[in-house]
Structure formats: C-alpha cells, structure tokens
A and B are shown apart, each in its own frame.
Chain A
Amino acid sequence: MSRLTLISLQLLVALVALALWQLLATVPIFGRMWLPPFFFSTPVDVFSQVISWFSTGVIWKHLLITLWESILAFVLGSAAGVLIGFWFARRPTVAAVFDPYVKMTNALPRVVLAPIFTLWLGLGIWSKVALGVTLVFFIVFFNVYQGVKEVSQTLVDNGRMLGMSERQLMRHVYWPSALSWMFSSLHTSVGFAVVGAVVGEYLGSAAGLGYLIQQAEGVFDVAGVFAGMFVLSVFVILIDIAVSLVERRLLVWRPTAARD
C-alpha cells in the first residue's frame, strides 16, 4: 500500500467516525437521539471549543504547565533511576537488602500517592512532578539495573585486557550499556511522565491539561472534556515524535534502532 492511500484511509476512518458521531448526536433516528448531546456533545462543539482555546490563547498556559511538569518528572525520575539502578547492580548486597522494599513500592498503585503528595507539596507543580517521578523512576531503574547486570563478560574482560581501570570500565563499558537500556525505555518513561502530570492535575491543581478536563467535567461541559482529551492526545503524539527523533540520534550504534 502506498503512503498516500494509507494516509487517505486513515483520514477516512476519522471522517466516518466523526460524521457518525455528529449525525447520531444531532439528528433523531427512529424518534430518538442515540447520542444525547448532553452526554456526548458533538464534534462541531468539541472543535469549536478547541479553536476558541487556541484563539483566545488560554490553552498555552495549561499546555506549558503540563509540559514543564512532564519534563521535570522525566528528568528527575530518570536521573534517580539511573543512579540507583547503577548502584544496586554494582553492589549486590545493597540490592538484596532493598529488594523487598523496591518490589513493595513498585506494587503500589501510584494514584493513591497523589493525595499524599498534594498534602506534602501543595497544589502547585511539585506534587505532580513527584507523582510522575514515582512512575518514571521504576521503569528506568529496572532497565538500568538489568542493563548493568547483563553487560557481556567478554566486553568486561576485553576492557580489562586493554588496560581499563575500574573507573574506566565504568565509563566505557558499564555506563554506555546502562544508558542504552534507559534509552530503550524512553517511550514508556516519557509517556509515564505525562501520565503522572495529568493525573496529578486531575486530582487537584490550579492549572494544566488535567485541570482543564477536570474543570469541564465539574460543570458537565462534555465538549470541554472531549476537547481536553483531544489536545492531550495531540500533545502526547508530538512528544512521542520528539522522543523518536532523539532516540534515532542516540542509538545509531544499535542494530534495532537502525532498522526502524
């Protein structure tokens, strides 16, 4: 299938779905409205909401806040994950001691932490960042831990025979290997950073996309909820594209990255 036909078909799916939605929400069929606008809104209303957000510019503030929270959550969570993953992998005793607590914390559904973070850190961005960090940290941590543990013994021996000291082994063998594992989970961890930010906002905040959706829901503004969801998914897709670009640059040496 050529690229053009593929894109046309993809667009067709969206058009049919939207047309059906608009039809069922505005034209009564067999004497009843199948998608009552009060509950389902209409595509036209949703898009006019989106357009008014962008034309008045109110959306930018919320987008920026969510973006900022996601970036902070990602950076802090990754940094902690890399450092602690690295440490645990190189110190098996430490890893063994902390193992049950790591598993326990990871098993906890993160949403229940949100109220605690709000209590500790307030309604501002830091409670959302903290929620995102708890999500990102574990993904990066497990990947880096695994990555350092599974560095091929031949590579380590080769490094030693080439004259590397322990520090040089860290820098030239363990570290690149750990980072490559972190990058391989980039899509997931960035995605979770956004989830943490939005869920945090939804549960209590004064700005952000999650706040916008929650506010609309509070006044039964279904068009607002859908518009918020739409902006959010476009936002996530754009971030994902950015991550793919970064990934392609960072992982040139990886056979899988080159094939993609």
Chain B
Amino acid sequence: MDELAPMAVALEDATVAFRLGEGRFYTAVEKASLSVAQGEFVAIVGPTGCGKSTLLNLAAGLLRPAAGAAKVFDRPLVGLNRDAGYLFQADSLFPWKTALDNVAIGLEIAGTPRTKALSRARDLLDSVGLGAFRGRYPHMLSGGQRKRVGLAQVLIRNPKILLMDEPFGPLDAQTRQIMGNLLLELWNADRKAVLFVTHDLEEAIALADRVVIMSAGPSARIIGNWRVGLPRPRDIFEVRLTEEFHSLHGRIWSALKGEVMKGYAQSAREA
C-alpha cells in the first residue's frame, strides 16, 4: 500500500468519555488508534458493549473525542464527516417514505432535481435486488430488505468512506451471508474505505482486509490487528471452508476469547 496516500479515516489516541452526572465519567474508549486506508475494508470486532459503535461515531463526527483526534483524509474532523456514509444498526429508514423515496432523499436534499434523483434511486434499488419493491413502505419489507434499502440509501451519495455498525446484526444467518456477499460485490466495484463493526468474528474475517480486536469495556482499547490475506474477490460461503480461514480464525479467537469472558463477567456484575 502506498504509504504517502492519506488515510481515509484515522483515529489518533482517541479517548471518549461520557458524563454520568455528579462529576463522574464513564470512559468508553481509551487511547484508540486506528486507521483505514483508501480502498481498505477494516472490521472491528469486540465483545458486546465494548465501544465499537463509539469508534464508528467518532469517525462519523457524531461524537467528539475527549482527547486525541479524528482525521479524515489527513484533515482534522470538524463537525460531521461529510465524506462518510453511515449504515446504522437500528432501523434507520424513514417510515413515512417509500423504499424509492428513502433512497432518493440523499440526492434530493443535496439539490438534485427530483426526477433525476428518482431515476438514480431506481438504479440503486435494482443493484441491491429490490427493483420490484420500490413502492413499499419500510414496514412492508423484511429485515433483510430494509438493510438493502439502507445500503442503497447510503450509497446513492457515493461516499468515499462507508461506516457500518453491525448492519446485519438483526438478520438470520442465511440472510447475513447473502447480505455479506452483496456488500462485497458492491464494494468491489469502486473499493471505498470501509469501517465495519461486528461482534461476529467469522463475518469480520470473511469480509475484511484487516480485523481489529477491541478489549472489553469500560476503557476499551484496541488489542489486536490482524491482516486477512484471503484472495479477492471472495465468496463468503466458500471462503469459510478454506484452511487459511480456519487457521486465522483460530489465532484471532484465542486472542479474543479472554476479552469475551471478561465482557461477560462485567455485564453479569452490572446486572
């Protein structure tokens, strides 16, 4: 990789703390450094509640670091990250808009004439395989279909950086794999920088170029960084069957296991 090209996203010793009231703070993430090169697909894996989403919100500009910095293409991030598209974990489609309008809105608010925005939205819905569902409202779509619309909604603005927060978390195993392949296929077309948060290590390895491991919170840190050398283009059904996948999975899992147990112990104490 070209060392001189600016990183699409870089977090430098970023610390995030939330105020709990009465002068007490909860440190969610401590001194996290992480960078995503242009065209690179990075997955963040960590136990539940470890602050993975917090890192993503930092990169999106929805959160500000208490210490450290967030940079986008070498410039300090001020306000929202205008180069990024964000696919949220929770349902984030506008329930009062049809699938087509939900996708077109990103262009419409940027001032693109409606007819043009709609025709572009039609193309994108076709590319995520939902051409026939244009007129449906979100509640008439399945969970997987809603995520497809969400993906199209984000992609229509053609962001240089894609931030994804456990986007396929609520889906069943089969749908997740199908969505994973769809994502890789779309990503392969123009190789945006991707920061993908998941709690599923297998998903992370199958999708990403690099897997970043986080420790259990509070004060979660980045504790590992693994390059995934699996050849592209990949099919995530088949890649899981390879020897390389298994050995990498074994090595990362042994590092992650202790943190998962810690995370469980923590949440058990709090509950």
User: A interface vs B, CB < 8 Å?
Assistant: 152, 154-155, 157-165, 168, 172-173, 176-177, 180, 252-255, 258
- Given A168-B109, A258-B139, A155 contacting B94 (CB threshold 8 A): yes
Pair A252/B137 contact, Cβ less than 8 Å? yes
With both chains docked as a complex, state the minimum distance between the C-beta of B107 and any C-beta of chain A, in angstroms. Answer: 9
* Residue from the list B85, B88, B137 in contact with A154, Cβ < 8 A: B88
Distance (whole angstroms) from the CB of A167 to the closest CB of chain B: 10
Distance from B121 Cβ to chain A, minimum over Cβ atoms (Å) = 13
- Residue pair B95, A254 in contact (C-beta under 8 Å): yes
Q: Once the chains bind, are A163 and B157 in contact (CB under 8 Å)? A: yes
Q: In the complex, A165 Cα to B90 Cα: how many Å?
A: 22
Q: Does B60 contact A (CB under 8 A)?
A: yes
Main secondary structure of the interface of A (DSSP, over half): helix
B80:A160 contact, CB within 8 angstroms: yes
Interface positions of B from 206 to 253, Cβ below 8 Å from A: none
4 residue pairs, one from A and one from B, having the closest CB atoms: A158-B92, A253-B137, A255-B139, A161-B86
Q: In the complex the two chains form, is A172's CB within 8 Å of B137's CB?
A: no
Of chain B, the residue at the smallest CB distance from A161 is B86
Query: In the complex the two chains form, is B157's CB within 8 Å of A162's CB?
Result: yes
- Asked, given contacts A154-B88, A154-B90, A254-B139, whether A161 binds B96 with beta carbons under 8 Å apart, the answer is no
Determine if B15 is an interface residue (Cβ-Cβ < 8 Å). no
Question: Which of B88, B98, B138 is the most central at the interface, judged by chain A CB atoms within 10 Å of its CB?
Answer: B88
- Asked whether any CB of chain A lies closer than 8 Å to the CB of B62, the reply is yes
Is B153 in the interface zone, CB < 8 Å from A?
yes
User: Would you call B32 an interface residue if the criterion is a C-beta within 8 Å of the partner chain's C-beta atoms?
Assistant: no
Q: Which of B90, B97, B109 contacts A163 (CB 8 A)?
A: B109
Contacts A172-B105, A252-B137 given; does A162 touch B96 at CB 8 Å: no
B110 within 8 A of A: yes
Give the complex CA separation of A192 and B90 in angstroms: 38
A162 and B106 within 8 A (CB): yes
- As a 0/1 sequence over residues 103 to 122 of chain B, the CB contacts with chain A under 8 angstroms (1 = contact) are 00110011000000000000
B200 located at the interface, meaning its Cβ lies under 8 Å from any Cβ of chain A in the complex: no
Main SS class of interface, B: loop
A-B contact pairs, 8 of them (CB 8 A): A155-B92, A157-B92, A158-B86, A162-B106, A162-B109, A162-B153, A253-B95, A258-B140
- Which residues does chain B contribute within 8 Å of A173, judged by CB atoms? 94
B88 & A157 in contact (Cβ 8 Å cutoff):
yes
Tell yes or no: B91 within 8 A of A by CB: yes
Distance (Å) between the CB of B119 and the closest chain A CB?
19
Besides the known contacts A161-B62, A162-B105, A164-B109, 5 further A-B residue pairs in the complex with CB atoms under 8 A apart = A154-B92, A155-B92, A161-B60, A162-B154, A253-B98
* B96 and A176 contacting across the interface, CB-CB below 8 Å: yes
Q: How far, in whole Å, are A206 and B96 apart by their CA atoms in the complex? A: 45
Q: Which chain A residues border B139 with CB–CB below 8 Å?
A: 253-255, 258
Contact B157 A158 (CB under 8 A): no
Give the shortest distance, in Å, between A156 (CB) and chain B (any CB): 10
Q: Is B84 an interface residue (CB 8 A)?
A: yes
Distance A226 CA – B174 CA, assembled complex (angstroms): 65
Is B262 an interface position by the 8 A CB rule?
no
- How far is it, in angstroms, between the C-alpha of A254 and the C-alpha of B94 when the chains are bound? 11
Cβ of B75: which chain A residues have Cβ within 8 Å of it?
A: none
Give residues 54-99 of B contacting A (CB, 8 Å): 60, 62, 80, 82, 84-86, 88, 90-92, 94-98
Q: Are B94 and A157 in contact (CB under 8 A)?
A: no
Set B60, B85, B97: member contacting A253, Cβ < 8 A:
B97
Set of chain B residues within 8 Å of A163, measured between Cβ atoms: 82, 106, 109-110, 157
Q: Which of B84, B85, B97, B106 has the most CB of A within 10 A?
A: B106
B residues near A164, Cβ cutoff 8 Å: 109
Contacting residue for B91 out of A154, A162, A176, A252, CB 8 A = A154
Contacts of B88 in A (CB 8 A): 154, 157-158
| B contact residues around A159 at 8 Å (CB) | 94
Q: How far apart sit A98 and B198, CA to CA, in the bound complex (Å)?
A: 46
- Least distance between B57 CB and chain A CB atoms (Å): 9
Residues of A within 8 A of B106 (CB): 162-163
Report yes or no: B86 in contact with A157, Cβ–Cβ below 8 A.
yes
Given A162-B153, A163-B109, A176 and B94 touching (CB < 8 A)?
A: yes
Residue of A nearest to B163 (CB): A161
Distance A159 CA – B62 CA, assembled complex (angstroms): 12
**Which residues of the partner chain A approach B91 to less than 8 Å between Cβ atoms?**
154
